[in-house]
Amino acid sequence: MMRPQSGGRTLKCGQRRLQLDRPCVMGILNVTPDSFSDGGHHDALDAARRHAERLLTEGAAIIDVGGESTRPGAEGVPLERERERVLPVVEMLVREFDALVSVDTSAPEIMTEVAAAGAGMINDVRSLTRPGALEAAAATDLPVCLMHMLGEPQTMQRAPHYDQPIETAVVDFLESQIARCERAGISRERLILDPGFGFAKTLEHNLRLLNRMDALEALELPLLVGMSRKSMVGKTLGRGVDERLPGSLALAVMAVERGGHIIRVHDVAPTVDAVNMTWAVLQERIDHE
């Protein structure tokens, strides 16, 4: 099994810094009415504030704010609506909590505006492929998470197929996106990679990819892994969205064992415990090698 990379790397996130010498947890704050798990729960500013405070108290190192659902079949959101959802929340999190905020967006205009509002990271499921996104992300000087996905959320789960092993397809795709970023002036030091569990992948793809996450080690960049409450848990265990915590915790542990640096989840407190316990066991091995 692959172990998390250590060595004290620090990621500069605007005015803040994120230590990546051990795995950390990213808490999800969806300010949307239609996200698959928590849609409509935190789309008012007061509700977002309360939930963010809880996530931070429970140990989240990063709050990931999303204003557009990217669940399978989700429809796109007009730019102005995404702006109205996301920008006040980012400003509130920075002002009131001095939080390290990641913004889950593909819109170049939103990237520019949230960077000016104090966000510390861009998390783009479309890997900066929308027109102007690459240039906008480069200009922010913020870290960017590039995720593997084919197609769009509306269509990505319609019989996804690959002509090569899924881990090879993911590595090849991410290598090409890294090269695009470097040509645009985004250095490797600013990049984080997400294998894209649940995005244009069948259950079999997801299980194989998790088993073979060591293939991504060759890219030598931090890994963000998000499997919390996803359908791979539901299909495997026969559980509804609200019954997937045990399965999600198991996946978080395996992600850490396989080199995950940032674990993106809905349920922060139990995941922090699971991640810290896993890291303690792995660290004992590292210390005695």
Contacts of residue 205, defined as CB under 8 A and 6 or more positions apart, other chains included, come to 160, 162, 166
**Beta carbons of 268 and 60 less than 8 angstroms apart:** yes
Does residue 230 carry a catalytic annotation?
yes
Integer angstrom CA distances of residue 34 from 15, 38, 101: 32, 8, 21
The DSSP result for 114-169, as a single string, is: HHHTT--EEEETTTT-STTHHHHHHHHT--EEEE---S-TTTTTSS---SS-HHHH
Euclidean distance between CA atoms 48 and 92, whole angstroms: 9
Please tell me the distance from the alpha carbon of residue 110 to that of residue 173, in angstroms, as a whole number. Answer: 25
Where b means 16+ CB within 10 Å and e means fewer, 209-219 reads bbebbebbeeb
Neighbouring C-beta atoms of residue 185, cutoff 10 Å: 13
Pairing verdict, β 24-30 and 262-265 = parallel
Residue length of the chain: 289
Catalytic residue among 126, 201, 230, 244: 230
Q: Based on the residue annotation, tell me whether 180 is a catalytic residue of this protein.
A: no
Half-sphere exposure (CA, 13 Å, Cβ side) for 241? 7
Q: ∠ CA(207), CA(154), CA(172), 5° rounding?
A: 50
- Catalytic choice (126, 201, 229, 264): 264
Contact assessment for residue 112 and residue 140, using Cβ atoms and an 8 Å cutoff: yes
SS3 104: strand
Residues that are catalytic: 230, 264
